[in-house]
Amino acid sequence: MLNVDEILSLPKLGKDDSFTFGCNRCGSCCREREDILLTPLDLFKISKYLDKSIPDTLADYCEMYEGRDSKIPIVRIRPREYRRTCPFAKKEGCLIHSVKPAVCALFPIGRITNMYTDEFTYFMQPITCGNKRQTQTIRQWLSEYTMLEEESFTVLWHQKAGEISTILREVYNKHTFNHDAINSALLMILYIRYDMDVDFVQQFTANCAEALQIVEVIAAEA
C-alpha cells in the first residue's frame, strides 16, 4: 500500500483527464489481499445483489476489526486461506462484478477526498499489470461502476467517520473502556441496521447521527 508521501508525489488527475490502461482480467489484484475494505454502502449493495441479509454477508465473507488509528469498526473481505484470494474471485471473474467494492472499482485509480471542499483528486497507481490498449477519462472509468453517484456518500462517510473517530480517540486516551461493546454497537448502527428496500443514503444519514449521539454520550459520561 502507498504511503502519504508516495501518493502526494504522483501526478494528479481531474475527472476529464485521460489515462491509458486496459485490464487483462488476469485476477492478480484479487490474490494476496487482506486490504479490501468495505464501506457501509459496499456492504449494502453486495448484500442486495447476493440477495442476502447484511448479517449473513458479514458472516459468510467478511471480518471486522477496530481501526488502529481511527478506533472505529472496519469491515474487510475475509480472504480464503489459499493464496489469500478474495472469496468473490471465480474462474469466470468477479462474482460481484457489477457491485464490486469501491476500492476494486477504482483500481488502478486512487482517490484523495478533500473533506472541506467535497472535491476529489485522482491519481494512477504505479502498477505493472494490464495493457496500454485503452484510453479513457477518469469520468468514463468511474461511470462504469456508478462511482460518480457515490461521491456524495463518500464525502459524508469520511466526515462522519472522522467525527466519531475524533471523539472515540479522545475518550480511549483518557479512560479504560470495553471497546468490544462500543465496536458492536457502532458496527450494528453504521453497517448492519438497514432496510434493503429503503434509500441507503437516507438511512445512513440517520444512522450516523445516532452513532454520533452515542459516542457523545459516552464522552460526556466518561
Interface residue list for ligand SF4 (CB under 6 A): 23-30, 33, 36, 86, 88-89, 94, 96, 100-101, 104, 107, 129-130
- Identity of the residue, 93 or 162, whose beta carbon is nearer to ligand SF4 in the bound complex: 93
- Identity of the residue, 67 or 108, whose beta carbon is nearer to ligand SF4 in the bound complex: 108
Contact yes or no for 18/136 (Cβ under 8 A):
yes
* Closest by Cα among 119, 106, 110, 108 to 147: 106
Biggest alpha carbon–alpha carbon distance for the chain: 60
- Minimum distance from CB of 167 to ligand SF4 (Å)? 32
Task: Please state, in angstroms and rounded to a whole number, the distance separating the CA atoms of residues 139 and 146.
Answer: 10
- Minimum distance from CB of 109 to ligand SF4 (Å)? 11
Task: Please state, in angstroms and rounded to a whole number, the distance separating the CA atoms of residues 196 and 199.
Answer: 8
- Minimum distance from CB of 134 to ligand SF4 (Å)? 11
Q: Give the 3-state secondary structure of 65-132.
A: EECCCCCCEEEEECCCCHHHCCCCEECCEECCHHHCCHHHHHCCEEEEEECCCCEEEEEECCCCCCEE
Contact yes or no for 200/43 (Cβ under 8 A):
no
- Minimum distance from CB of 188 to ligand SF4 (Å)? 24
- Minimum distance from CB of 13 to ligand SF4 (Å)? 17
- Identity of the residue, 126 or 162, whose beta carbon is nearer to ligand SF4 in the bound complex: 126
- Identity of the residue, 28 or 152, whose beta carbon is nearer to ligand SF4 in the bound complex: 28
C-alpha separations of 18 from 124, 134, 147, 201 in Å: 10, 10, 17, 30
- Identity of the residue, 40 or 130, whose beta carbon is nearer to ligand SF4 in the bound complex: 130
